[in-house]
Amino acid sequence: MPATRTARPERSTMVSTEIPPVPLTIEGYSVLHQMMRFRWSAWRLLGPAQKAKIIHEASGLLAKMEQNPSGQSALYSLIGHKGDLMFVHFRQSFDELNQVELQMARLRLSDYLEPTTSYLSMIELGLYESTIKVYNELAERGIEAHSEEWNRAIKDTMERQREAMRPRLFPELPKHRYLCFYPMDRRRGEDKNWYTVSIEERARQMNEHGLVGRRYAGEVKQIITGSIGFDDWEWGVDLFANDPLVFKKLIYEMRFDQVSAVYALFGTFYIGLRCGSGELGKLLSGQVPRG
């Protein structure tokens, strides 16, 4: 009796039509915020000549950082009890940010600085509309998600977007007089969870949210940084303006958007006045910086 052959099940040719939930993002500068408390009591014990040497050394380094062609730094005088100074650094990589930290630690001025906190992130642009468009196009062509062909198409899309958005990914650090910085999360609790909402609905809500920000385009400059996996919150927000009142109006109006009213969680807010390298001496003598 001839042996019977067991038929092998045919390999399914069906392709999943469900698009991935994660929006594509493109990244630019690595960013470090350093919040410091100044040891005023120790500083007052120094003589004028000692102070002058320390200020000259620190001002020289800060001046170079302000003009760095591959990512600038800026100093802000903080208002309130959360610290005295905040340094903001834009650089090409985390390696360069670490080098900045080490350069500052070697300054004699660092003997009078006590870190209160810091925040590490990268400038990030979320590509919700482009993501949905390319995902749907690939699904319609029958290309399996995360296959080699899929990954090539995604890479091409990212490269085009990265080139088109390069000025927003690698901007000059704005020179506005005031800075408002705060970290934030999207709610992911049992009742409301941003990460279980469909990508289409998230895109709709983010577009609605962005419309408010665009109305303030002439008054405030906004830079969003991503920090998932880098720091304790998911995003950092930097707002730059010459009138601090715009921070209150913009953030208050945005809180009525669905994405903020339902899903947003906010961290600590910091408000600072820009202090140029040439004004460090005035600042440490108790004068308000002029920007």
Residues 138 and 153 in one domain: yes
CA angle 134, 30, 57 (to 5 degrees): 160
Token pair of 147 as six digits: 């296959």
CB 55 within 8 A of CB 284: yes
pLDDT at position 35 over 60: yes
What mean pLDDT, rounded, does the chain reach?
A: 92
Residues 104 and 173 in one domain: no
Instruction: Choose the weakest-confidence range: 29-33, 262-266, 287-291.
Output: 287-291
Residues 177 and 48 in one domain: no
26 φ/ψ angles, rounded to the nearest 5 degrees: -120, 145
Token pair of 276 as six digits: 């140029």
pLDDT at res. 46: 98
pLDDT single digits (tens) 219-254: 999 999 999 999 999 999 999 999 999 999 999 999
Residues 131 and 225 in one domain: yes
pLDDT at position 12 over 80: no
Write out the DSSP string of 128-170.
HHHHHHHHHHHHHTTPPTTSHHHHHHHHHHHHHHHHHTHHHHS
pLDDT at res. 19: 80
User: How many other C-beta atoms are found inside a 10 Å radius of the C-beta of residue 82?
Assistant: 16
Q: Among 94, 123, 152, give the residue marking a domain's end.
A: 123
Query: Does any domain span residue 159?
Result: yes
Residues 51 and 174 in one domain: no
Residues 155 and 170 in one domain: yes
pLDDT single digits (tens) 154-205: 999 999 999 999 999 999 999 999 999 999 999 988 789 999 999 999 999 9
Residues 169 and 218 in one domain: yes
User: How many other C-beta atoms are found inside a 10 Å radius of the C-beta of residue 10?
Assistant: 6
Name the residue range of residue 91's domain.
29-123
pLDDT at res. 17: 54
Distance CA 265, CA 150 (A): 34
Query: Does any domain span residue 192?
Result: yes
pLDDT band at 3 (very low <50, low <70, confident <90, very high): very low
Give, in order, the Cα–Cα distances in Å from 254 to each of 14, 207, 216, 242: 43, 12, 11, 20
Residues 68 and 167 in one domain: no
Residues 145 and 263 in one domain: yes
pLDDT single digits (tens) 15-28: 445 788 999 999 99
Give the count of domains, the chain.
2
Residues 138 and 267 in one domain: yes
Q: Among 123, 155, 183, give the residue marking a domain's end.
A: 123
Residues 114 and 253 in one domain: no
pLDDT at res. 45: 98
User: How many other C-beta atoms are found inside a 10 Å radius of the C-beta of residue 119?
Assistant: 25
pLDDT at position 11 over 60: no
CATH number at residue 71: 3.30.70.1030
CB 121 within 8 A of CB 225: yes
Residues 106 and 147 in one domain: no
Query: Does any domain span residue 251?
Result: yes
Supply the residues annotated as catalytic: 182
Residue % of the chain over a pLDDT of 70: 93
Query: Does any domain span residue 278?
Result: no
pLDDT single digits (tens) 76-87: 999 999 999 999
Q: What is the mean pLDDT of residues 23-48?
A: 97
Query: Does any domain span residue 282?
Result: no
